[in-house]
Amino acid sequence: MKPRLKFEHIYKAFPGVQAVRDFSLEAQSAEILALVGENGAGKSTLMNILSGAILADSGRIFLDGEEVMIDSPRRALELGITMIHQELALIPQMSVGQNIFLGREPRLSTLRAMVDWKELYRLAQQELDRLGLKISARDLVQDLTIAQRQMVEIAKALSYKARLIVLDEPTSALSEREIETLFDLMRSLRQHGVTLIFISHRLEEVFAVADRIAVMRDGQLIGVKAANEISRDEVVEMMVGRELKEFFPKANVQRGALVLSVRGLKRGKNLRGINLDLYQGEIVGVAGLVGSGRSELARAIFGADRVEAGKISLNGKEIQLHKPEDAIRLGIGFVPEDRKAQGLFLGQSVRSNIVISLLNRISQLGFIRFKLADELVEKMIRQLNIKTPSVQQRVRNLSGGNQQKVVIARWMSLNPKVLILDEPTRGVDVAAKAEIHALISKLAGQGVSILMISSELLEILGVSDRILVMREGNITAEFSRKEATQEAIMRAATGQVDNQRLSLQSQTV
Ligand SMILES: Nc1ncnc2c1ncn2[C@@H]1O[C@H](COP(=O)(O)OP(=O)(O)OP(=O)(O)O)[C@@H](O)[C@H]1O
Ligand SMILES: [Mg+2]
């Protein structure tokens, strides 16, 4: 049988980077093929070529034995290739249904120029229901959570009769349960003969769902193996080209004075009277399901959202946070969850993005000392291993994981007193993840107090001195590093709490 998909000697260069070189690979029908590799390895570029978003410089692509020219996204769709992008591509101001049927709305049989809205919403709802999503086709996309938006993208992709579906990091914003739903769906699509290409930095997921694993490094295919014939360590070694110590032993930091203290913080259903203490040099992990209020807590402490009640004190003095600038001025830094919307200036250079909050510190007598800025930027690029041809590269042109590192670099170079990290390693490869963990640890060692939200329990367990679990706007459990286990955290996050020590939460304000 002819392979469903065949890449033959694909090349693609961008200014300063050979993103894909001499790449050849086959995928079969009814197969889930994982594509893994470090940030900037060329995965998204290759998939953008496949989905018609960009053209290869040379090379050939075959579908079911026939050579195809994929010169536009429309052509890819006609050929039965759909792609769920790493960066969400929905139009926020439109409804879910409008987004799903954008450009191919069903028309009224009587008046062909008119959209048949009733039919559109009926069909869209059908797609959503098929995925078991509790989303109405009439909801506006802007009212959905990131996780829900991602599920809508998947519903949209599936609504095209696809023979090849590419999922570029589809799970990074999903909760465990949503991920399971997605995997079940992928398996059932495979059963119907569909080929799925799955990109993820979470190797547990790759091993859970993929039949074969293809590894890319520096634009090249390093190897492809059946998932049951290769170990996790071997995959990592192929990815980074060396053996990697993935988990840094957490340094034992003597915790210092009380730095940040939060009492009775309230904001609607998301924050129902939160009490929290953060000490100098301490890393506090915040676990919980998507929607439990974790990000809202972070945003409130950063002054990004108004709160209805509550007190925040820094070094024993009550502070008023009306906007993020107030927090920044006081030494509170924040790496947000939705980097695209809240963290990055995509049209600007890597340098500007890193030094933007630093300008006050390095500008003297009104002009910026570029040399000092450049030294700092170069240092951060080295330290975090940010893959970019130069400090002048626009952030838009960096790979997803490298964009993420730029936001972290900005805050690290600011020397904050308190650093709030919301999913700091989402979309980041294993090597960089270990580097970021080591850096977080190092910052704590230098006396920075860190509040880290993460959906990855292993990350929470590996990095935190103390762990808080949130559920439905409350902190429902607290564990010391020693007491914490995955099971105990999951129980607290889902509401099956045993009698946890919650001294602080029972205090009245
Ligand atoms: N439009 C562009 N202009 C310039 N360079 C680009 C562009 N798109 C990608 N690149 C570069 O090509 C290389 C490959 O990027 P790509 O996005 O394919 O990586 P990736 O494997 O998907 O990484 P990640 O895991 O971080 O998403 C990177 O060095 C990136 O900076
Ligand atoms: Mg990518």
* Nearest-atom index, ligand 1, CA of 38: 25
> Is the CB–ligand 1 distance for residue 433 below 6 Å?
no
Which one of the ligands is nearest to 386 CA?
1
Query: What domains sit in the chain, N to C, each tagged with a CATH number?
Result: 5-240 (3.40.50.300), 258-331+416-506 (3.40.50.300)
List residues bridging with 279 in a β-sheet: 258
What is the largest distance, in Å, between two alpha-carbon atoms of the chain? 75
> Is the CB–ligand 1 distance for residue 462 below 6 Å?
no
- β-pairing verdict for 220-226 and 212-217: antiparallel
- Looking at residue 460, its amino acid is I
At 214 the three-state DSSP class reads: strand
SS (H, E, C) 311-364: EEEECCEEECCCCHHHHHHCCEEEECCCHHHHCCCCCCEHHHHHHCCCHHHHEE
- Going from the Cα of 461 to the center of ligand 1, the distance in angstroms, rounded, reads 31
Mean pLDDT by 10 residues, the chain (509 residues): 96 94 97 95 96 96 97 92 78 94 88 89 92 89 82 82 88 76 86 93 93 96 97 90 64 86 95 96 92 92 92 95 90 83 83 77 57 84 88 89 86 87 87 84 91 91 95 94 90 70 50
- What's residue 439's pLDDT? 83
- β-pairing verdict for 283-288 and 309-314: unpaired
- Going from the Cα of 331 to the center of ligand 2, the distance in angstroms, rounded, reads 32
> Is the CB–ligand 1 distance for residue 312 below 6 Å?
no
Measured CA distances, 383 to 183, 376, 405, 429, 473 (Å): 35, 10, 10, 15, 36
> Is the CB–ligand 1 distance for residue 19 below 6 Å?
yes
- β-pairing verdict for 32-36 and 212-217: parallel
- Going from the Cα of 20 to the center of ligand 1, the distance in angstroms, rounded, reads 9
- Rg, the chain, Cα only: 24
Check: CB of residue 395 under 8 Å from CB of residue 344. yes
- What's residue 111's pLDDT? 79
Check: CB of residue 57 under 8 Å from CB of residue 46. no
> Is the CB–ligand 1 distance for residue 428 below 6 Å?
no
- What's residue 62's pLDDT? 98
Gap between the Cα atoms of 374 and 312, Å rounded: 36
- What's residue 298's pLDDT? 94
> Is the CB–ligand 1 distance for residue 343 below 6 Å?
no
Check: CB of residue 30 under 8 Å from CB of residue 190. yes
Q: Supply the angle between the helices 232-240 and 430-445 in degrees, to the nearest 10.
A: 90
Q: Which of 397, 403, 404 to mutate to test the pocket of ligand 1 (most atoms within 8 A of CB)?
A: 397
Alpha-carbon dihedral sign for residues 371, 376, 379, 385: negative
- What's residue 179's pLDDT? 83
Residue 332's closest CA among 253, 416, 399, 264? 416
Check: CB of residue 187 under 8 Å from CB of residue 180. no
Gap between the Cα atoms of 70 and 347, Å rounded: 28
- Going from the Cα of 37 to the center of ligand 2, the distance in angstroms, rounded, reads 9
> Is the CB–ligand 1 distance for residue 20 below 6 Å?
no
Using DSSP, how many helices (H) and how many strands (E) does the chain show?
19, 22
Which one of the ligands is nearest to 50 CA?
1
Q: Which of 43, 399, 402, 428 to mutate to test the pocket of ligand 1 (most atoms within 8 A of CB)?
A: 399
> Is the CB–ligand 1 distance for residue 426 below 6 Å?
no
- Going from the Cα of 125 to the center of ligand 1, the distance in angstroms, rounded, reads 35
Q: What angle do CA 83, 428, 142 make, to 5 degrees?
A: 55
- Looking at residue 391, its amino acid is V
Q: Go through the chain and tell me how many residues it has.
A: 509
**For residue 79, how many other CB atoms are within 10 A of its CB?**
21
**For residue 32, how many other CB atoms are within 10 A of its CB?**
24
Sheet holding 317-319, edge to edge: 271-279, 258-267, 309-314, 317-319
> Is the CB–ligand 1 distance for residue 45 below 6 Å?
yes
- What's residue 502's pLDDT? 55
> What backbone phi and psi angles, to 5 degrees, belong to 249?
-65, 130
* Nearest-atom index, ligand 1, CA of 86: 27
Gap between the Cα atoms of 6 and 164, Å rounded: 12
At 29 the three-state DSSP class reads: coil
At 450 the three-state DSSP class reads: strand
- Going from the Cα of 124 to the center of ligand 1, the distance in angstroms, rounded, reads 33
**For residue 370, how many other CB atoms are within 10 A of its CB?**
12
How many CA atoms lie less than 13 Å away from 479 in the CB half-sphere? 24
Question: For the whole model, what pTM was predicted?
Answer: 0.76
